């Protein structure tokens, strides 16, 4: 069993969904957890739930990843509470889907700001501490569409492809300080977004998945857990696909 006791993990966008599953998985392995989200009620509830369920220290910090000052405040709160940062999961993200011809500039900018620049802002807030510690694992939540593209998701695909490029470049810089940077690229995952799809739409989606099943948030969390642990100590600059075989690299 993977043991993260003594480690401190920050997960953005972790009040619910995949981010919450990641936080639970890391807490189950013994890590102390910082939940951060713009959803205050959900974030506070998640932090309390995880602390009680897994007997770890937790902290909720309201933070907006598009605001660099907010990210700096998050880092400050983390250091004041725990004195270190071992794992950073850049999970916060949104979609604003639409065909390119009709896509509004505001929807393109918002997706890039949260999904890509948000990861930049948060990572930069913690990066100096990690390099001084000479240890750390940064995990960026990419997507299968960042690798293959998808009609109606030009903005989202661009943000996730950019995140993969940022992962590779930062991994080359950070390696000399023993800080690893990797990405996880989920495929079709059970979520609030997929729950509302019709059976016909889900069947069409599954035609592109060789395993013929939809992934779960826990499947993604397991990949993050691996990249957070010493089992992946010789892995950096990589994108781990969790997609049931949609893309085989």
Per-residue model confidence (pLDDT) at position 193? 65
The partner residues of 239 in beta bridges, in order of sequence, read 183
Question: H/E element holding 148?
Answer: helix 145-148
Per-residue model confidence (pLDDT) at position 249? 79
C-alpha distances out from residue 226 to 25, 55, 80, 110, 151, Å: 10, 21, 27, 31, 31
Q: Is residue 166 in some structural domain?
A: yes
Per-residue model confidence (pLDDT) at position 54? 98
Can you give the CATH number for the domain in which 65 is found?
3.40.50.720
Q: Is residue 30 in some structural domain?
A: yes
Q: Is residue 245 in some structural domain?
A: no
* Number of domains comprising the chain: 1
Write down the catalytic residue from 54, 127, 156, 188.
Answer: 156
Q: Is residue 209 in some structural domain?
A: no
Q: Mean of the pLDDT values across residues 128-142?
A: 98
Domain of 74?
A: 8-187+217-234
In contact, 215 and 244? CB cutoff 8 Å:
yes
Q: How sure is the predictor about 196, in pLDDT bands with cuts at 50, 70 and 90?
A: low
Q: Mean of the pLDDT values across residues 125-140?
A: 98
Residue 1: strand, helix, or coil = coil
Annotated catalytic residue 156? yes
Query: Could you tell me which residues come within 8 angstroms of residue 83 by beta carbon, excluding any fewer than 6 positions away?
Result: none
Alpha carbon distance 60, 63 (integer Å): 9
Q: Is residue 194 in some structural domain?
A: no
Q: Is residue 204 in some structural domain?
A: no
Task: State the sign of the Cα–Cα–Cα–Cα dihedral 123, 156, 91, 47.
Answer: positive
Summarised one tens digit per residue, pLDDT across range 221-237 is: 999 999 999 999 999 99
Alpha carbon distance 138, 111 (integer Å): 21
In contact, 65 and 12? CB cutoff 8 Å:
yes
Q: Is residue 94 in some structural domain?
A: yes
Q: How sure is the predictor about 1, in pLDDT bands with cuts at 50, 70 and 90?
A: confident
- Ramachandran area for residue 99 (φ above 0: left; ψ -120 to 50: alpha; else beta): beta
What's the residue count for the chain? 249
Q: Is residue 76 in some structural domain?
A: yes
Residue with tokens 């059976």: 199
Looking at the chain, the whole-number percentage of residues with pLDDT higher than 70 is 98
Is the pLDDT at 195 greater than 80? The verdict is no
């Amino acid at each position: 069993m993977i043991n993260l006791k003594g480690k401190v993990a920050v997960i953005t966008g972790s009040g619910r969904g995949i981010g919450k599953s990641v936080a639970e998985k890391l807490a189950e392995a013994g890590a102390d957890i910082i939940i951060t989200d713009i959803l205050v009620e959900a974030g506070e509830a998640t932090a309390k739930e995880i602390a009680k369920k897994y007997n770890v220290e937790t902290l909720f910090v309201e933070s907006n990843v598009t605001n660099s000052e907010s990210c700096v405040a998050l880092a400050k709160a983390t250091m004041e509470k725990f004195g270190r940062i071992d794992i950073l999961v850049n999970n916060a993200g949104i979609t604003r889907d639409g065909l390119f011809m009709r896509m509004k500039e505001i929807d393109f900018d918002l997706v890039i700001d949260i999904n890509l620049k948000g990861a930049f802002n948060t990572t930069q807030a913690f990066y100096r501490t990690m390099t001084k510690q000479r240890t750390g694992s940064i995990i960026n939540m990419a997507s299968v569409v960042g690798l293959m593209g998808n009609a109606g998701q030009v903005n989202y695909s661009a943000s996730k492809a950019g995140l993969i490029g940022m992962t590779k470049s930062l991994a080359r810089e950070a390696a000399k300080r023993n800080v690893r940077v990797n990405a996880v690229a989920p495929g079709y995952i059970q979520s609030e977004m997929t729950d509302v799809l019709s059976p016909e739409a889900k069947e069409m989606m599954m035609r592109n998945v060789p395993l013929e099943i939809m992934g779960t948030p826990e499947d993604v969390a397991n990949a993050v857990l691996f990249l957070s642990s010493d089992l992946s100590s010789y892995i950096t600059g990589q994108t781990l696909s969790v997609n049931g075989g949609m893309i085989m690299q």
